[in-house]
Amino acid sequence: MQKQKNITKIGVDTGGTFTDIIMSVEGSLWTHKVLSTPRNPAYAVIKGVSEILNRHNIDSHDGVDIVHGSTVATNALLEHRGARIALVTTKGFEDVLEIGRQARPNLYDIFVQRPAPLVPADRRFGIRERTLHTGDIQTEISSTDLEMLTTQLTTLELDAIAICFLFSYINPKNEQIAADHLASLNIPISCSHEILPEYREYARFSTTVANAYIRPTLERHLSTLTESERFPKSFRLMLSNGGCVSTRNFESAGIQTVLSGPAGGVIGAYHIAKTAGYEKIITFDMGGTSTDVSLCDDGISMTTESTISGLPIKVPLIDIHTVGAGGGSIATVDSGGALRVGPESAGADPGPICYGNNGKEITVTDANLFLGRISPTQFLGGQMSLESETTRQYIEKFSEQIGLSTLETADGILKIANAAMERAIKVISVERGFDTRDFTLVSFGGAGGLHAAFLAENLGIRTVLIPPNGGLLSAYGMLFADVVKDYSQTVLWKTEDSGTNLHNQLENGFDALLTRAKGDMETEGFDLSQLIINRSLDMRYEGQSYELNVPFINVDMDFVSQFHAMHEQRFSYARPEAIVEVVTLRLSAIGETEKPALTSEPLTDTDPSDAQITQNSVIFDSKVYPTNFYQRESLHPGNRVEGPAIITEFSATTVVPPNFSAVVDVYGNLILQHG
């Protein structure tokens, strides 16, 4: 484990509505939350970090270790507001991005519109070159063609370039020649053999182009941070695979930041739940704009297949499913008169109506406030007051429009939002053969505690775990992030002869990846002896178009039999007589960092009365219930809260419905159970 010289460690998560900061100082945790600044997210990061450091008299340049997760890359892709880029590819393959794949998500929709490529046709350039599938170069790039290409690109006022040649994952020579020549343009260049050295042209092209598309935007974000006198000059970026890297190594990792915030939440939830004795969990992260869910069956689930705004992104990442349902999701009426919620969000500016920022569209947060489930005077620990009367007026007008009572309207908004989140959880559980009743729901995010118990009841989940500082758990999870680098190489080897030849190929292939990992991790401050190395194989039956990832310990293990067993478990059949292929070698290098200690406290009595702050009327299923409100910071391990109850804290609110109870465990987690 790398020994840290720093005693101050900060996790920063930039969300659509709030930017969350959590700081660990010699075992003590401090939290802060500021409204995000969508026009330039870096401003909120600088403001929040400088405020929490000043509050505790810590110099920003005095050994502060920051891990920063950002939505900058994600938003650039979702909103198509990235860089102006060009694609250089093998002549005749300029339209790979346009053609895409055969898969049609909306098979019978004759009006479906495919997402526009990130690079329009007039900025896609083919050049004469050809590398064969064997790695032999059939056609080398001529200097004349490169000069002509450079002249064409010079006239386009580009921000970045993506270079994607056929079979460059086997032999990258032609890509390297082109990149070296185009370096004279002095703009960022992304090469597919560096971003994704794997086969399947469309996924490789799409991922490389996406990296080029977001890189200048991410660079501007990072420069705003590093140029600020109020922000430390050195920090690390959270990645979608649950690890992090220093900013000096982000060039090839830009696309790996697209789900960095949600990844931090899963990492934090998994560590907390495992420490508390819960191994099988479903994470439920409900923020202001969206909800992210992930299933952890005795470990964090990873994938290399993801789609963002219709674009395939093939990099290792935590398996997270996202839906457009959050606290800021807007309630509307469609053309048929039906009530809908989301995916549009009020964001941070103007935000929900109750924020008082001239918001005029009703959101999920407004509905919760109207039903009494959020205390207008305890929001953000009392630092922000909510406008109940203005919210009531808007809900009354909206109710008249749809012909429902105000209670039916507010309750309907919440039920529709809950239904969308239930579907998201079923996608990662029921649709993959898991029984939700076998799992614990770990709820976090600023809005998660308001909805978790209702989701659990509908899904048959018996236990809900809500960690302390649940509204900042994504930022908290970043404090647990190790330095992680992932490497891959497509090989397409048959295992018919699984003797010495294949074993030598595997060892040589992994040695090449390990050499790359060693060099990269040395720049992060780790030598080879400090690294945890995980190796695996993407394998399939000959003729299949999908693979299963099989752990690889050494050449002596029977990884072919292990593949057959995994295929049987996943698809209910195996074909031991069939030819098996090793498609891709994967290696993950992990440099462990020091992490905050999770300390336990002894159980006290069950009486929570010392934490009660008031009693108000709260509405559940159109009925009014006298409901006790508790301050979570004043609850102690062993305290038992009977529903209905509302538990408030700085970063979140937890609803304990009438048919639920909550107990505080030795780690300060709220454990909600039905009945």
Amino acid 461: pLDDT: 96
Quickly list H helices, 79-200: 96-99, 143-154, 173-182, 192-195
Cβ distance 2 to 18 under 8 Å? no
Mean pLDDT throughout 533-542? 95
pLDDT value at 3 more than 60: no
Residue 444's contacts (CB-CB under 8 Å, 6 or more residues apart) are 265, 268, 269, 283, 284, 285, 466, 467, 470, 471, 473, 474, 652
Report the half-sphere exposure of 643 (CA within 13 A, side-chain side).
Answer: 19
- pLDDT of 631 above 60: yes
d(C-alpha 196, C-alpha 137), whole Å: 20
Examine the pLDDT at 545 and tell me if it is beyond 90: no
Q: Is 415 exposed, middle or buried (0-12, 13-18, 19+ CB in 10 A)?
A: middle
- Segment 297-311 shows an average pLDDT of 84
CA–centroid distance for 361 within its chain: 27
Is the pLDDT at 253 greater than 50? The verdict is yes
pLDDT of residue 102 exceeding 80: no
End-to-end CA distance of the chain: 45
Residue with tokens 């969300």: 15
The arithmetic mean of pLDDT across residues 300-312, rounded, is 84
Q: Tokens 């209910």, residue?
A: 572
* Structural domains present in the chain: 8-77+220-257 (3.30.420.40), 83-217 (3.40.50), 329-370+385-416 (no CATH), 487-591 (no CATH)
pLDDT, tens digit, for every residue of 260-293?
888 999 999 999 999 999 999 999 999 887 889 9
SS3 state at 543: coil
Task: For residue range 636-670, list pLDDT tens digits in order.
Answer: 999 999 989 999 998 889 999 999 999 999 999 99
pLDDT at 499: 60
CB 399 within 8 A of CB 366: no
Residue 6 has pLDDT above 60, yes or no: no
What are the tokens at 344?
Answer: 């549009």
Residue 185 pLDDT class (50, 70, 90 cuts)? very high
Which token pair is 260?
């960095």
pLDDT of residue 299: 87
**Separation between Cα atoms, residue 170 and residue 199, nearest integer Å:** 9
Nearest of 312, 346, 299 to residue 326 by alpha carbon:
346
Measured CA to CA, the distance from residue 95 to residue 48 in angstroms comes to 44
Under 8 Å between Cβ of 472 and 651? yes
Reading the block at residue 533, the tokens are 């190395």
pLDDT given for residue 201 in this prediction: 93
For residues 125-154, give the mean pLDDT: 95
> How are beta strands 440-444 and 8-14 bridged, if at all?
unpaired
Element (H, E) at 117: none
pLDDT of residue 577: 92
In this prediction, what percent of the chain has a pLDDT beyond 70?
97
- Residue 1 pLDDT > 70: no
CB 550 within 8 A of CB 537: yes
List CB contacts of 440: < 8 A, sequence separation 6 or more. Answer: 273, 278, 280, 281, 282, 461, 463, 464, 465
Distance separating alpha carbons of residues 160 and 158, to the nearest angstrom? 6
Contact 341, 232 (CB under 8 A): no
How large is the average pLDDT for residues 446-473?
A: 94
Predicted structure pTM score: 0.87
Q: Amino acid identity of 236?
A: R
DSSP 31-46: EEEEE--TT-HHHHHH
Q: Between 359 and 419, whose confidence is greater?
A: 419
Burial class (CB in 10 A: 0-12, 13-18, 19+), 653: buried
Digit-coded pLDDT (tens) for 12-60: 998 777 899 999 988 788 989 888 888 889 999 999 999 999 998 888 7
Confidence of residue 114 (pLDDT cuts 50, 70, 90): confident
Single-letter residue type at 211: N
338 versus 171: the higher-pLDDT residue is 171
Under 8 Å between Cβ of 466 and 665 = no
Task: For the chain, give percent helix, strand, coil, nearest 5.
Answer: 35, 25, 35
Burial letters for 104-122: b for 16+ Cβ neighbours within 10 Å, e otherwise?
eeeeeeeeeeeeebbbeee
Give me the mean pLDDT over the 191-220 stretch.
Answer: 93
In 91-229, beta strands by DSSP E: 124-127, 130-131, 137-139, 160-164, 189-191
Q: How far apart are CA 362 and CA 339, in angstroms?
A: 12
Neighbouring CB atoms inside 10 A of 543's CB total 8
pLDDT-derived band at 498 (thresholds 50, 70, 90) equals: low
Task: Choose the weakest-confidence range: 163-177, 243-257, 634-648.
Answer: 243-257
* Cα separation, 655 vs 662, whole angstroms: 10
The one-letter amino acid at 387: E
Average pLDDT over residues 350-372: 90
Mean pLDDT of the chain, nearest integer: 90
Answer whether 77's CB lies under 8 Å from 213's CB.
yes
pLDDT value for 272? 94
- Assign 3-class secondary structure to 603-672: CCCCCCHHHEEEEEEEEECCEEEEEEEEEHHHCCCCCEEECCEEEECCCCEEEECCCEEEEECCCCCEEE
CA distance 451 to 44: 27
Question: Crossing angle for the helix pair 143-154 and 173-182, nearest 10 degrees?
Answer: 50
